[in-house]
Structure 1
């Protein structure tokens, strides 16, 4: 059954149609630099200005019962204070709390919503567009800036930048613990894969994994998250000392961190050769700047291009946006965190070394990467599909050491957080983002089973919650994500990536990165570029792509 598109909005339809068609025209536009820059600026601004720009008038501070003298409001009494405008340890929010919408009895029991995420008849729906690299990349790079404080979920531990803290650490102290302080490099070791060829990896975190004794040189670094409960000694022995507590969580994460560590050290070698007078500190800091901009460019030009159906490829253009009203200090919002919870993109099983393997086996299992090697694992990852983002497709393997399953710990926990934060309804967020409010379930999805379940649980479209509505929408043709997800990502991601200090007009130049570093940046466009220059010499090029 086709979805009723009458509530998509004429201007929204026109924008999507124009960008998703006329490929020869867009190719022509992109071949002429001045016109390309003007079109890029026009479309990026048209996306970002769909909602009010930062500063955000509210944060989750107003709901925190831990602050003396505050209570969770019984009425819509959120207000703006100097603290709520400046204390970024509290997560921001786009719309004020709506206690009336979240009052007891208005919404379904959270446990009853599990059916919306469970696979229908146990069947996995695979993506027709995305390889498994796509969900691996998403988890890896969002973990560097979407960091909810586990002790107080209204707060965060984020630097509010795409700063690659997953590689470099959250603080200077943590960064220093993983630096070699020689030639600008990270501490690394050589490990043999199954065919005896050596590759470069971070050092191991534990000196004595049997007794959970860490290597003294890493005292003060984040301990690998929950490894005490989850990991046998043989797995703990292979956990790496890396920037954040989640960096060892899954082989995709470890693979991308390892890739960046190798690239950083490779850049240091090039810089050292060309600028022998530079000391260790300058080599490290310049290599870090170069790598961060490379990743920002990949996000803008390869990753964003993959998730949209558009024929025009957006790009970072530092000089174009510095005077825009949205060019403000970054502050991650809760809605942005929830919009990036793409657990349904991860399959129950994947192919490893030619064999079907439970995805659960790839958690905290660095030996899988060590045995196979970075290039071969990347290529195998990119030879198989990820799964479709949306309802009825989240894997539900058990979480070791807890009574919970993956759906309980991810999707239902996200709904619970949305209610604790008293988020407004799905329809309210559609309206905020420039979409007409839906009036019927068939305007959200053409899937009759999904319509039926949503109606049974919520009764009326106005009662659908933000998180559920995000993933109830159908994915557009040749896109990787549903429309409201895409809109919010475009607004938040573009406005927060393009404000990175390294992309400001006075910084984005050869003086900052060096002429050699500038050339590296200009000649690196894809993840494939990074992989194929950071693997042992081979007779062939590894195939690496977000696209099937």
Structure 2
């Protein structure tokens, strides 16, 4: 039963800011209409979001948990102090708060298996989002997978394989060698092929990764692209034949991911055509590198102006203004943190079933299944994706297949990494510590289960607590998740080298590329210029209309 949440621990400043930004729509419309005033307000609001949390450099990283001094056989005690190496070795995942071995001693925590009830759907009922289409969770999985990359070859999960930038490595590869394997070295383009969809019209796709799918034999031109995912259950031969050669090992995982990767590959090649028309003397390398820069700037623009504004409930629409922030104290090198990884584990935003070609289809059918995408084509699949809702982010809403695969392992990982408590992170983020379960959620069933499992609010773990909170009206994510994204999303994006004032200009992107960047604000812009000319204009949006 849903009751009214006790808001006494929301914090007065937080309440005032939310109230002002979610009311007075006419005032905010006037502010947005004045460019000079809008820039000042935009800077103030973005800074206010980022400065809610201590900014980089973070005093800790996962190096504090490593039981062995790197590159030696010397064992050390787990420490919680700052060292020069912990401030600079970015092969380790960053962290905002130091380890808390006391919380993770297991004495105050329930068995991980007992927590499954917090994520499974009640009576099998799915809670759909009132704001987001399925493009929203597809986009989140795709773009975060390029920089939130825990090294699963490390038994202790302390390291990452990330470049710590929104660099589209899922499209271009993590290394220069991987990038080279995907290129034609002619006209700056990616290697692609034409494939027919069900209606006979051809569209552009990446090349297939396997030369002999039945034997698992990789096409020799892609040897060394990445370590294949050796899971025959997820990659049976009938699906292997359609897997594409793309930037990272998980790029074929789900049709939403493949759809967005393919969109970027088409746009890159389209940009090369635009550039060669205007600059016929440019060689292959300059065409490739300039198209890559343009595409990354476009994606950064969409993240900050379409994706972020979809998340927030505010009437003022935040926008990218890179030059405004270069003197801020948060303007520091990027370093992905474990907390940022956890606040983007939105497994509950994916429904059990979705409509494909108008028919209910289990989400498992869309895993490693590029034939579904090829048959339908980019525009039609994207429009069908945007015609149906995603599901609400929070407890009691994760598909059964993902509870055991993703939710419980996330809790185990949090304990292994000795993450501080939910209340500790509230305090760090400028929220008062909760003292009652009713201050987290008004859902009486959730209150009952949290109390039964944890006994005291101070025992609630970070991963459970952030998703137990209620989603604010007209928002898509709970408040503490939003607060943590404020520091790591805006500051990470605005710190991208391409957005530096001496780089973000026509010299870097070319006059033609600069104009394309300025005139591309949405995913819809990208999709509708990368489908066959005979196709209609497709409706593409994060927002349910």
User: TM above 0.5, one fold?
Assistant: yes
**Cα distance in 2 between the residues matched to 1:346 and 1:66:** 39
- Across the aligned residues of Structure 1 and Structure 2, the Cα RMSD in angstroms comes to 1.0
Superposed, which structure 2 residues align to 1:528-539 within 5 Å?
A: 528-538=524-534
- The structural deviation recorded for 1:230 is 2.4
Counterpart of 2:443?
Answer: 447
Counterpart of 1:490?
Answer: 486
Superposed, which structure 2 residues align to 1:90-101 within 5 Å?
A: 90-101=92-103
- The structural deviation recorded for 1:110 is 0.7
Name the SS for the 2:295 alignment partner: helix
Q: 1:224 and 1:378, CA in 2 relative to 1: closer, same or farther beyond 3 A? A: farther
- The structural deviation recorded for 1:538 is 3.4
Gaps of 5+ in 2: none
Counterpart of 1:118?
Answer: 120
Q: Is it true that 1:287 corresponds to 2:291 in the alignment? A: yes
Name the SS for the 1:430 alignment partner: helix
- The structural deviation recorded for 1:34 is 1.2
Counterpart of 1:10?
Answer: 12
- The structural deviation recorded for 1:66 is 4.4
Counterpart of 1:69?
Answer: 74
Superposed, which structure 2 residues align to 1:355-504 within 5 Å?
A: 355-397=359-401, 406-504=402-500
Check conservation: 2:438, 2:447, Cα contact below 8 A: yes
TM-score, normalising length: structure 1? 0.97
TM-score, normalising length: structure 2? 0.97
Residues 191-224 of structure 1: CA deviation (Å, up to 9, x unaligned): 0000000000000000111111111100110144
**Cα distance in 2 between the residues matched to 1:129 and 1:274:** 41
Check conservation: 1:227, 1:236, Cα contact below 8 A: no
Check conservation: 2:427, 2:433, Cα contact below 8 A: yes
Counterpart of 1:350?
Answer: 354
Counterpart of 1:302?
Answer: 306
Check conservation: 2:234, 2:367, Cα contact below 8 A: no
Name the SS for the 1:285 alignment partner: helix
- The structural deviation recorded for 1:26 is 1.5
Identify which of 328, 338, 353 aligns with 1:324.
328
| Structure 1: 4+ residue segments shifted above 3 A | 66-73, 226-229
**Cα distance in 2 between the residues matched to 1:365 and 1:150:** 23
**Cα distance in 2 between the residues matched to 1:356 and 1:66:** 51
Name the SS for the 2:360 alignment partner: strand
Gaps of 5+ in 1: 398-405
- Higher mean displacement: 272-281 or 307-316: 307-316
- The structural deviation recorded for 1:368 is 0.3
Name the SS for the 1:350 alignment partner: strand
Q: 1:309 and 1:151, CA in 2 relative to 1: closer, same or farther beyond 3 A? A: same
Check conservation: 2:188, 2:288, Cα contact below 8 A: yes
Q: Is it true that 1:55 corresponds to 2:61 in the alignment? A: no
- The structural deviation recorded for 1:104 is 2.7
Check conservation: 2:55, 2:487, Cα contact below 8 A: no
Name the SS for the 2:308 alignment partner: helix
Identify which of 208, 220, 223 aligns with 1:204.
208
Residues 236-279 of structure 1: CA deviation (Å, up to 9, x unaligned): 00000000000000000000000000000001000000000100
Counterpart of 2:226?
Answer: 222
**Cα distance in 1 between the residues matched to 2:487 and 2:19:** 19
- Higher mean displacement: 11-20 or 333-342: 11-20
